[in-house]
Amino acid sequence: MALSLQISKQRKTWWLVSGVLTLVSIAAMAISLSQFNYPIRPGLDFIGGTRLQLERDCAQADCSAPINPSDVRAILSEQGLGDSSVQVTSTERQKNQGVSIRTANLDVEARTALEGKLSEAIGPFDLESTQNDTVGPVLGERILSSGLIALLIAFAGIVVYLSIRFKLDYAVLALVALFHDVFITVGVFAILGLVLGLEVNSLFIVALLTIVGFSVNDTVVIYDRIREMIKLSPDQPIDNIVDTAVNQTLGRSVNTTLTTTLPLIAIFLFGGITLKNFSLALIIGFLLGAYSSIFIASSLLGWWRSRSESLAPAGMAQELEDSSEVEDEAI
């Protein structure tokens, strides 16, 4: 391998990088918290609301001019929905003939009334191309809390599994790296929410959970190799072992991240608006996952082991003897 990383020597640098990213994330979340009461701009899945996506039926409507958002806003204020957001949308078929409206939670009467007024003024709309979503606040809270519970369960499940397969300290450090990935992904979306007004919905939690399940893979593979090498040459200093293990698995780490990111890029480019943010979250999370496995999880383990080695110089060798599946080569 031409490229050789000196993880253990540079670990302070990488920890600094991650520390800064974490601080920026905390800052972004704090600003979001003061602005939206949530650490990240919440979509209607979590806080409730109504979103109408309408498209003019050009067979019947006059589509010569694009939809004027101020016309739509006028109707909204007439209906007492002045603080709603309005966006004119385009499809492949026609430009600027659609409108996406996000309002507070509307019941069926209010929604029908609004649709009627809009249809009168700028429609008629093509029912087959509309999309509308209404989520009540009660359900929104439920979606959010069940999502967060799922996230905690996944964290716990992975710690338990890794403690069985490895040792508790491996599991805890892998979790630190994992938390780092998820936290900074949330931070990035907090920034996107502040800057671009990007909202997160329940698919974002799905993305976080997928990141949890996948990011730990790279860490596991590196830890697997570290364990194998400790067994083969227990006298080597742990920092050397960590560096060699990272470099030996580097090709795999990079390529796996690449093969999983390629389809995500395809989804990002070709998938609809719903899947765009979803794939973006996954791409960010997976890249962070690869980064944290290579630079953070490994160096943390090296630091932790050398620290406990210097505290208890004897006895380490025995502790590392459980690698039963790494046996001498068959045949």
Partner 1 sequence: MGKQRGLLALILALVIGAVIVLAKVPPRLGLDLQGGSQLTVLVKPTEEIPEISERDLEAVTRVLENRVNGLGVAESVVQTTGEDQILVQLPGVSDPAQAEKVLGGTAQLEFRSQKQGTEAAFQAERLARQEIELQALIAEETGDAEAIAQAQESLKSSNEVIANFFDEGSLTGEYLKDAYATTGGAPGGSNWEVGLRFDGKGGELFADLTKGLAGTNRGLGIFLDDALISAPVVDVQFATTGITGGNAVINGNFDSREAANLAIQLRGGSLPLPVEVVETRTVGATLGRDSIQRSLYAGAAGLALVLVFMAIYYRLPGFIADISLIVYTLLTLASFALLGVTLTLPGIAGFILSIGMAVDANVLIFERTREELRAGKSLYRSVESGFYRAFGSILDSNVTTLIACAALFWKGTGFVKGFALTLAVGVLVSMFTAITCSRTLMFTAITIPDFKKKSLFAPGVETIAKS
Residues 114-153 that bind partner 1 (CB under 8 A): 126-136, 138-139, 143, 146-147, 149-151, 153
User: Could you say which of 81, 122, 175, 216 contacts partner 1 (CB under 8 A)?
Assistant: 216
d(CA 257, CA 254): 5
Taking the least distance from each CB to partner 1, the nearer of 194 and 203 is 203
Is 272 an interacting residue with respect to partner 1 (CB under 8 A)? yes
| Sequential DSSP letters for 38-99 | SSS-B-HHHH-EEEEEEEB-TTTS--SSPPPHHHHHHHHHHTT-TT-EEEEE--SS-SS-EE
Count the residues of the shown chain that bind partner 1, applying the rule CB under 8 A.
Answer: 75
154 touches partner 1 by CB under 8 A: yes
CB of 224: closest distance to partner 1 in angstroms? 5
Residue 16 as a binder of partner 1 (CB under 8 A): the answer is: no
Quick check: 305 and 8 in contact, CB under 8 A? no
Whether the upstream peptide bond of residue 124 has omega within 30° of 0, thus cis, is yes
Contacts of partner 1 in 282-311 (CB under 8 A): 282
**Residue closer to partner 1 (CB basis): 80 or 263:** 263
DSSP-assigned beta bridge partners for residue 116: none
Half-sphere exposure of 269 (CA within 13 A, CB side): 6
Report in angstroms how near the CB of residue 211 gets to partner 1 at its nearest.
Answer: 9
Options 9-17, 192-200, 212-220, 293-301: segment touching partner 1 (CB under 8 A):
212-220
Q: What are phi and psi of 136, to 5 degrees?
A: -75, 155
Q: Is 168 in the site for partner 1 (CB under 8 A)?
A: no
Name which of 152, 154, 145, 153 is nearest 210 in CA terms. Answer: 154
Q: How far is the CB of 151 from partner 1 (least distance, A)?
A: 7
Helix 168-196 to helix 202-232 angle (10° resolution) is 150
Instruction: Give the shortest CB-132-to-partner 1 separation in angstroms.
Output: 5
Q: From the list 168, 265, 307, 321, which residue makes contact with partner 1 (rule: CB under 8 A)?
A: 265
Tell me which of 266, 317, 319, 322 binds partner 1, using CB under 8 A.
266
